[in-house]
Amino acid sequence: MYPESVEELRRRTRDFIRGTVLPAEPRPGQALNLTVRRDLAQAAREAGVFAPHMPVEYGGQGLALEHCSPVFQEAGYSPIGPAVLNCMAPDEGNMHMLNLIGTGEQKKRFLAPLAAGEISSCFAMSEPHPGAGSDPEALATTAVRDGSGWRIDGHKRFTSGATFAGFAIVMARTGADGATGKGAPDGATIFLVPMDTPGVRLGAPIHTTDRYLPGGHPHVHFDGVHVPGSAVLGEVGLGFTYAQLRLGPARLTHCMRWLGLARRAMDIMLDRANTREIFGAHLSQLGIAQEMIAQSCIDLETSDAIIAKCASLLAVDPKAGSALSSMAKVHCSEAVYRVIDRAVQLCGGDGVSDGLPLAQYLNEVRPFRIYDGSTETHKWAIARRAVSSRRRAVEGGEPFQGAVHNHDGER
């Protein structure tokens, strides 16, 4: 159901990941060595699978978002695959954004080397309490006009990839009031800030449960950082709009990649079922394993289906697609976790040990139920949209369904 060219790229990617990347994976709990990553990236370029989502002019394979899923799933079959193919978060979402709204000059300076894998980047959005978290409106980092440029002050955290990044995409408040915004539209503005700009300082790392990619998710401090006017990405004051633009697709590509890792976990549990005891020793317990295997198949296929539906919708109706991406994100992040959790269980003691990579996979995906909007935050938004959309429909003439049959003079 995908064009043949996409299917070809998928097969190439599959062959590359299984033939070249799998043998080079670090041991569970270890991080990908940067030299190994560089070598594998070069091999990916030569294999014609590098940067699948980027236009050919930037060295990519020219995939549209609605065709990314099969290819990204193949990439994600290895926990280091997306990094090797340069389609890992946050770089992948940053490239997407730069490509959409960057100026020619910005693309040349930031996008080209990023797409080529020469530098990496980070997305500086989350802040310590009570700043921007699930609620971006609480943004505390500020940017005020300073001569022809801007001065940025703030404190970010969970800034994945900052340790090795060449530049940061920074979200800062640029208010309407004279004090901070000097006439700028009220809201947020996005800035491109090289990490070696004076005043940018890497803070303490935050270690979350993932381990495959080095560098953690550190604090980053911006203390009186001066940037020129050309550092503004897109228009002043439209930061939140752009962030939304980035978020829908970024959320979905996360689903694609992690779904690939869930397929890996599935293969591990199936190979176990095919060759050895499960649950320790009792082959006779295969029955209970069947329940777990079947439910995992269903989790994988429904995830694949909702991703495909959402990617198609994003292409024709970004607003509806973004709303649907909330549901896709919740379903896929929970489904992926369940599949890996069942694989752990099926492999018994080996499942929780470093003799198999499953326990680390579980830790790798655990944060995905939280970042890019936690399951609960999305549910809250999904429910609110459903309730208000139905209310408008009824107000618009849809037959009201809530009336209780009049038994006894009761409405």
Under the binding rule (CB under 8 A), the answer on residue 22 touching a copy of itself is: yes
Per CB under 8 A, the list member of 2, 62, 295, 338 interacting with a copy of itself is 295
Under the binding rule (CB under 8 A), the answer on residue 140 touching a copy of itself is: no
Site for a copy of itself in 202-221 (CB under 8 A): 203-209, 217, 219
Q: Are strands 188-194 and 232-233 parallel, antiparallel or unpaired?
A: antiparallel
| Residue closer to a copy of itself, measured from CB, 35 or 275 | 275
Binding characters for a copy of itself, 51-90, by CB under 8 A (x = yes): ----------------------------------------
Q: How far is the CB of 338 from a copy of itself (least distance, A)?
A: 11
Task: Give SS3 for 232.
Answer: strand
CA atoms of 92 and 381, how far apart (whole Å): 25
Under the binding rule (CB under 8 A), the answer on residue 319 touching a copy of itself is: no
Under the binding rule (CB under 8 A), the answer on residue 145 touching a copy of itself is: no
Binding characters for a copy of itself, 357-396, by CB under 8 A (x = yes): --x--xx--xx-xxx--xxxxxxx-xxx-xx--xx--x--
What tokens does 28 get?
């569970």
Measured in degrees and rounded to the nearest 5, phi and psi for residue 239 equal -55, -45
Site for a copy of itself in 220-249 (CB under 8 A): none
Q: How many residues does the chain have?
A: 411
Alpha helix stretches (DSSP H) within 17-55: 34-47
Q: How far is the CB of 396 from a copy of itself (least distance, A)?
A: 12
| Residue closer to a copy of itself, measured from CB, 115 or 292 | 292
**DSSP symbols for 56-83:** GGGTS----GGGHHHHHHHHHTSTTHHH
CA atoms of 186 and 176, how far apart (whole Å): 4
| Residue closer to a copy of itself, measured from CB, 56 or 316 | 316
Q: How far is the CB of 3 from a copy of itself (least distance, A)?
A: 14
376: CB partners within 8 A, 6+ apart:
none
Q: How far is the CB of 409 from a copy of itself (least distance, A)?
A: 8
CA atoms of 277 and 283, how far apart (whole Å): 6
Under the binding rule (CB under 8 A), the answer on residue 356 touching a copy of itself is: yes
Under the binding rule (CB under 8 A), the answer on residue 129 touching a copy of itself is: yes
CA atoms of 260 and 279, how far apart (whole Å): 24
Per CB under 8 A, the list member of 30, 42, 230, 353 interacting with a copy of itself is 353
CA 117 from centre of chain = 18
Under the binding rule (CB under 8 A), the answer on residue 3 touching a copy of itself is: no
What tokens does 307 get?
């991703």
Per CB under 8 A, the list member of 8, 135, 177, 223 interacting with a copy of itself is 135
> In terms of Cα–Cα distance, which of 15, 158, 188, 164 is closest to 83?
164
| Residue closer to a copy of itself, measured from CB, 183 or 280 | 280
> In terms of Cα–Cα distance, which of 70, 80, 74, 64 is closest to 28?
80
The footprint of a copy of itself on this chain (CB under 8 A) covers a number of residues equal to 117
| Residue closer to a copy of itself, measured from CB, 119 or 206 | 206
Per CB under 8 A, which region of 33-41, 111-119, 233-241, 272-280 contacts a copy of itself?
Answer: 272-280
| Residue closer to a copy of itself, measured from CB, 5 or 302 | 302
Q: How far is the CB of 71 from a copy of itself (least distance, A)?
A: 18
Per CB under 8 A, which region of 87-95, 169-177, 252-260, 344-352 contacts a copy of itself?
Answer: 344-352
Under the binding rule (CB under 8 A), the answer on residue 104 touching a copy of itself is: no
Site for a copy of itself in 37-56 (CB under 8 A): none
Q: Which residue bears the tokens 């491109």?
A: 192
Helix axis angle, 358-365 to 239-275, nearest 10°:
160
Kindly tell me the burial class for residue 288, based on how many C-beta atoms sit within 10 Å of its own C-beta (0-12, 13-18, 19 or more).
middle
Per DSSP, 175 falls in state -
Under the binding rule (CB under 8 A), the answer on residue 272 touching a copy of itself is: yes
CA atoms of 353 and 362, how far apart (whole Å): 12
Per CB under 8 A, the list member of 24, 119, 327, 338 interacting with a copy of itself is 327
Residue 367: which H helix or E strand, with range?
Answer: none
| Residue closer to a copy of itself, measured from CB, 112 or 288 | 288
Residue 18: which H helix or E strand, with range?
Answer: none
